[in-house]
Homo-oligomer: A and B are copies of this chain.
Amino acid sequence: MPDIKHFDPDETLDTVVRLFWRRGVATTGVQDIVTATGLNRSSLYATFGGKQELYLAALHRYRERRSRPMFRRLAEGDRGLPAVAEFFDSLITVRCSGEYARWGCMVANAHAGAENGDPDVRAVLDRHHQELRDALHTALTAAETRGQLAAGTDPEAAADLLALLAYGVNLRSRAGADAQALRRTVTAALDSIGRSPLA
């Protein structure tokens, strides 16, 4: 009996993600969202609630569409170090070129804003960090099993280190860091973790 939505909420959320991701939540107005999505204020509020709820939904969407797939690839296949190297390589490519160049990571960005005061946001941040660590840890454990790790390397500690390194890459890429330089740095880090080249 009721009317049906005249737009696609899913598509809308993707547009909203792009806005919050690029410009941050504090500097993105509801008017900007209305303009970018083309839909009406009423529809926005009726579908998603207020701005904060919309931001949270966008954050979830970002993680689901952008972060999770990368984490999954990183952890799957027991490839070990090559998977880690590929992860960072894709990361740097996305951060420094193409449509999303210089946007950084939406979750990393959220750390710096006042939005991290919201307990819900904070929870997402922590969960994200945990998942990143876990994925890296899985890959590094596989690397250890395959004998790819240097003698003194602990997979746990190395995962923590690489997770923090990823935040650094994300942040600096937003300021326009050079992709080549980032790649060199990551390579050096992975080299120090991995078995020295001996054959």
Interface residues, chain A, with chain B CB atoms under 8 Å away: 23-24, 26-27, 104, 108-114, 116, 122, 125-126, 129, 150, 152-154, 157-158, 160-161, 163-169, 171-172, 174-177, 181, 184-185, 188-189, 191-193, 196
In the complex, what's the smallest C-beta–C-beta distance from A104 to chain B, in angstroms? 6
Residues of B within 8 A of A27 (CB): 26, 113-114
In the complex, what's the smallest C-beta–C-beta distance from A180 to chain B, in angstroms? 12
Number of copies: 2
What is the bound-complex CA distance between A15 and B47, given in angstroms? 41
Known: A152-B196, A157-B185, A160-B181. 7 other contacts (CB 8 A): A111-B172, A112-B174, A125-B175, A129-B175, A153-B192, A157-B188, A160-B188
Q: A26-B26, A152-B196, A193-B192 are in contact. Are A112 and B122 (CB under 8 A)?
A: no
In the complex, what's the smallest C-beta–C-beta distance from A136 to chain B, in angstroms? 12
Residue ID in chain B nearest A105 by CB atoms: B112
Residues of B within 8 A of A188 (CB): 154, 157-158, 160-161
Residue ID in chain B nearest A176 by CB atoms: B122
B168 touches A164 (CB 8 A): yes
Interface centre among A153, A158, A160, A184 (most CB of B within 10 A): A160
